[in-house]
């Protein structure tokens, strides 16, 4: 009798263990979808940045289940219902993840199960709320512009700036609560891509991320991006380059460093650059005898060398050196310096170390004067 009782107890433990430890297991409910429709699961392939199919399930009585292999690392995955537009984003984690899906508003799907997806849901809710508010403000700004209501326009711009600041603070707070969640790496990548935080700020925050997350492909991509970004940050040695001059000669940065060197990114087609050029000329004339050197890097388009040369002449820029590969935004030097908008300036000391960046007008002139003293 005792043996039978022990066997029953042992069998009950096995059943309980199976129920509690399903591992990476998906289940969901969706109303209004006919039986037989497919549920597709895919994940992002980091090497190609595309979606890779993982598994499928079939909907029956408004429900579906998928039992998947346990994952060594968390990662972004997607769920899609046959015949319904849009993907549901979730994070892979080794436990049951539940989906409560509304076929008419797929973006309002509720995903539950595990700390990873709880943090992701909070993050996505914030992004959606921020986007909705920004879109509403942009519509109001367009109307204010049509009404020529300058006061309303300025008020809305201030409100947008405050909204961005609040979002920045919220993301930092969310990061601090989730340093051991995959969302922490997503947040840092977002901060970097949106330029809400500098590369040094993101790098310092990244040191606080748990070691297990640093092994994920997204973290490796973040590390690589940070390494590239830091190459053009203040305090770093300026990336070296050699490029063709208007005469067809090759000019290298190392051979043309002054006591202070300004690497100036511009283009003939860039109106803000052309407006800034007179300030650059005045600064050069003021400090050239004290050791100021300027190298202007043009992002002009292929086949438009004549426009580049004409702009140099019109803006009286012949006094210093110019280089360009005439590759527009594919200019190799601009990529090295992570330039995504022009005009952009990098101020280097006599050793080629970046000491300041993106200064204009009086601020640029004052900084150069300070360095030369």
DSSP state of 89: E
Are 125 and 208 members of one domain? yes
Are 351 and 260 members of one domain? yes
Rg (CA), the chain: 28
Residues 329 and 299: their CA atoms lie apart, in Å, by 6
Cis, bond preceding 343 (omega within 30 deg of 0): yes
pLDDT at residue 183, rounded to an integer? 97
Q: E strand or H helix at 16, and its extent?
A: helix 2-20
For the four alpha carbons of 306, 310, 311 and 316, in that order, the dihedral sign comes to: positive
Q: Residue 198 is part of which domain span? A: 117-230
Which of 220-223's residues contact partners 24+ apart within 8 Å by CB, and which partners? 220/46, 221/46, 221/189, 222/185, 222/188, 222/189, 222/192
Task: Specify whether the CB–CB gap between 24 and 93 falls below 8 A.
Answer: yes
Domain boundary among 230, 265, 293: 230
**9 assigned to some structural domain:** no
Average pLDDT, 10 consecutive residues per value, the chain (373 residues):
40 40 86 93 82 94 94 93 93 94 89 92 94 94 92 93 94 96 96 88 94 94 88 88 95 94 97 96 96 97 96 96 96 92 95 93 94 90
Question: Please, is 2 exposed, middle or buried when counting C-beta atoms within 10 Å of its C-beta (0-12, 13-18, 19+)?
Answer: exposed
**14 assigned to some structural domain:** no
Are 150 and 252 members of one domain? no
pLDDT at residue 1, rounded to an integer? 43
CATH code of the domain covering residue 103 = 2.60.40.10
Domain boundary among 184, 199, 230: 230
pLDDT at residue 22, rounded to an integer? 62
| 155-180 exposure pattern, b = at least 16 Cβ within 10 A, e = fewer | ebeeeeeeeeeebeeebbebbeebeb
**151 assigned to some structural domain:** yes
**211 assigned to some structural domain:** yes
**5 assigned to some structural domain:** no
Are 221 and 182 members of one domain? yes
Closest by CA position to 184, among listed 165, 163, 204, 210: 210
Are 197 and 76 members of one domain? no
Are 246 and 368 members of one domain? yes
Residues 6+ apart with CB under 8 A from 371: 259, 260, 347, 349, 355
């Amino acid at each position: 009798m005792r043996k039978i009782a022990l066997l029953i107890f042992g069998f009950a433990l096995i059943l309980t263990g199976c129920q509690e430890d399903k591992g990476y297991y998906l289940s969901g409910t969706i109303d209004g979808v006919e039986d037989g429709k497919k549920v597709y699961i895919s994940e992002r392939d980091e090497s190609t940045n595309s979606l890779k199919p993982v598994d499928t399930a079939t909907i029956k009585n408004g429900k579906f289940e998928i039992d998947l292999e346990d994952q060594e690392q968390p990662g972004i995955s997607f769920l899609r219902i046959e015949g319904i537009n849009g993907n549901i984003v979730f994070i892979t984690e080794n436990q049951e993840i539940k989906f409560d899906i509304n076929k008419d508003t797929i973006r309002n799907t509720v995903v539950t199960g595990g700390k990873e997806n709880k943090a992701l849901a909070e993050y996505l809710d914030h992004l959606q709320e921020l986007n909705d508010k920004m879109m509403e403000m942009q519509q109001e700004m367009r109307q204010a512009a049509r009404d020529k209501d300058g006061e309303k326009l300025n008020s809305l711009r201030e409100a947008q700036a405050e909204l961005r600041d609040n979002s920045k603070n919220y993301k930092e707070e969310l990061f601090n609560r989730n340093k051991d969640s995959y969302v922490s790496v997503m947040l840092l990548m977002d901060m970097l891509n949106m330029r809400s935080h500098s590369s040094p700020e993101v790098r310092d925050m990244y040191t606080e991320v748990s070691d297990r997350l640093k092994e994920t492909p997204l973290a490796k991509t973040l590390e690589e991006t940070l390494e590239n970004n830091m190459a053009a940050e203040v305090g770093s040695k300026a990336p070296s380059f050699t490029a063709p001059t208007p005469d067809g000669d090759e000019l290298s940065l190392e051979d043309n460093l002054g006591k202070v060197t300004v690497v100036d990114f511009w283009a003939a087609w860039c109106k803000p650059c052309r407006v800034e050029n007179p300030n650059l000329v005045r600064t050069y004339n003021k400090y050239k005898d004290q050791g100021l050197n300027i190298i202007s890097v043009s992002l002009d388009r292929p086949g438009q060398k004549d426009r580049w040369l004409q702009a140099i002449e019109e803006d009286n820029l012949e006094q210093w050196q110019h280089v360009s590969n005439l590759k527009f935004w594919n200019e190799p030097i601009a990529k090295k310096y992570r330039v995504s908008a022009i005009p952009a300036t990098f101020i280097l000391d006599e050793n080629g170390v970046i000491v300041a960046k993106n200064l204009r007008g009086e601020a640029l002139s004052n900084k150069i004067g300070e360095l030369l003293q």
